[in-house]
Amino acid sequence: MTTSGRAIDCKAFVARLRDEVATSVAALKTRHAVTPGLAVVLVGDDAASSVYVRNKGELAEAVGMHSVTHRLPADTSQEDLAALVRQLNADRSIHGILVQLPLPRGLNADAIIAEIDPNKDVDGLHVVNAGRLSAGLPGLVSCTPAGCMKLLRDEVGDLSGKHAVMVGRSNLMGKPMAQLLLAADCTVTIAHSRTRDLPAVCREADILVVAVGRPEMVKRDWIKPGAVVIDVGINRVPSRDPVKAAQGKTRLVGDVDFADALEAGATVTPVPGGVGLLTVIFLMQNTVKAACMIHGLDESSL
């Protein structure tokens, strides 16, 4: 087996971003007397969501932000949740609001997202921010695609004229990522579950971004030699060890077969330890951006 590809060191990249965010927060505090504030709202007791929310709160504090977490019971009403969002919209100490998704059954996530002040919508999900992105106007961009884009620029440099294939078209990931690639002058193909001959479409990609939610779907012969592959998928599958698998032990894999991607000569993000790390740090970056927008400050001068 030959492995001519390379795994992207996302940990080192994220460590650099974390330092950058901490520097921006310190500059906002000392030069402008603004402490960026992030509010995370968790409804219900989903174990995975609870871990994500705790990580977000801890990182926000670690980079020097003001951080609040609202934990609400699973039977919270739509109106009570909307009222909390409105209260956070009006709270001058809060610059970023994130309502952890998915919400428990019975709550309408779209209606809640629509309540968030677009200037505090650090998940970039409000239609105003989706519209700003597609119109090329400044706004808040969903954390995972924003992180993937920064990573791509770091890895590839000028993206102009590259053929980028985005597999997946969700509002959270596929659509904003495709818009960002387009804004970077890539030629963009968006593929999805109805795409014909997906392997052939993927083989055309200089840059292949995959956000599908299907374990190790992208195989060696889907990847053009030398392509840069961003694997957004996070899937839990049974452990390789049959004894552990029988005990219910699992492992995380992406949407791309990582060993195959290396064999194909790709530069590829690993799972775990890849794009997932970027998402949380970009939430902090977006909170800094929101604080700058709200206070009329130039983020690049921090």
Cβ atoms within 10 A of the Cβ of 225, count?
11
Q: What are the residues whose beta carbons fall under 8 Å from the beta carbon of 21, sequence distance 6 or more?
A: 63, 281, 284, 285, 288
Instruction: State in angstroms the smallest separation of the CB of 102 from ligand NDP.
Output: 10
Per rule CB under 6 A, is residue 236 in the interface with ligand NDP?
no
Please name every residue paired with 164 in a beta bridge, in sequence order, or none if there are none.
Answer: 188, 207
Residue 48 to residues 44, 55, 107, 174, 298, Cα–Cα distance (Å): 11, 11, 19, 22, 36
Per rule CB under 6 A, is residue 170 in the interface with ligand NDP?
yes
Q: Which of 1, 2, 158, 194 binds ligand NDP (CB under 6 A)?
A: 194
Question: Choosing from 117, 120, 121, 123, which is the catalytic residue?
Answer: 123
Instruction: State in angstroms the smallest separation of the CB of 169 from ligand NDP.
Output: 4
Q: Which of 36, 57, 64, 174 binds ligand NDP (CB under 6 A)?
A: 174
Residue at 12: amino acid letter: A
Q: How far apart are CA 271 and CA 282, in angstroms?
A: 18
For this structure, is 123 an active site residue?
A: yes
Cα-Cα-Cα-Cα torsion 196, 228, 300, 136, nearest 10 degrees, comes to -20
Q: For ligand NDP, which is the closer residue by CB, 194 or 240?
A: 194
Q: What are the residues whose beta carbons fall under 8 Å from the beta carbon of 33, sequence distance 6 or more?
A: none
Contact 84, 72 (CB under 8 A): yes
**Total residues in contact with ligand NDP, by rule CB under 6 A:** 25
Contact 136, 78 (CB under 8 A): no
Q: For ligand NDP, which is the closer residue by CB, 48 or 111?
A: 48
Contact 66, 35 (CB under 8 A): yes
Contact 140, 122 (CB under 8 A): yes
Binding mask 83-122 for ligand NDP (x = CB under 6 A): ----------------------------------------
Per rule CB under 6 A, is residue 173 in the interface with ligand NDP?
yes
Q: Which of 109, 235, 238, 297 binds ligand NDP (CB under 6 A)?
A: 235
Q: Which of 14, 34, 172, 283 binds ligand NDP (CB under 6 A)?
A: 172
Tokens of 271: 């799972």
| Site for ligand NDP, residues 120 to 149, rule: CB under 6 A | 144
Per rule CB under 6 A, is residue 192 in the interface with ligand NDP?
yes
Binding mask 205-234 for ligand NDP (x = CB under 6 A): ------xxxx-----------------xxx
Q: Which of 124, 168, 176, 265 binds ligand NDP (CB under 6 A)?
A: 168
Q: How far apart are CA 135 and CA 175, in angstroms?
A: 13
Instruction: State in angstroms the smallest separation of the CB of 283 from ligand NDP.
Output: 10
Tokens of 119: 């200037």
| Site for ligand NDP, residues 56 to 75, rule: CB under 6 A | none
Return the half-sphere exposure (C-beta side, CA atoms, 13 A cut-off) of residue 73: 3
Q: Which of 10, 275, 281, 283 binds ligand NDP (CB under 6 A)?
A: 275
Helix %, strand %, coil % for the chain, to 5? 45, 15, 35
Q: Which residues contribute to the site for ligand NDP (CB under 6 A)?
A: 144, 167-170, 172-174, 191-195, 198, 211-214, 232-235, 275-276, 279
Residues annotated catalytic, as ranges: 56, 100, 123
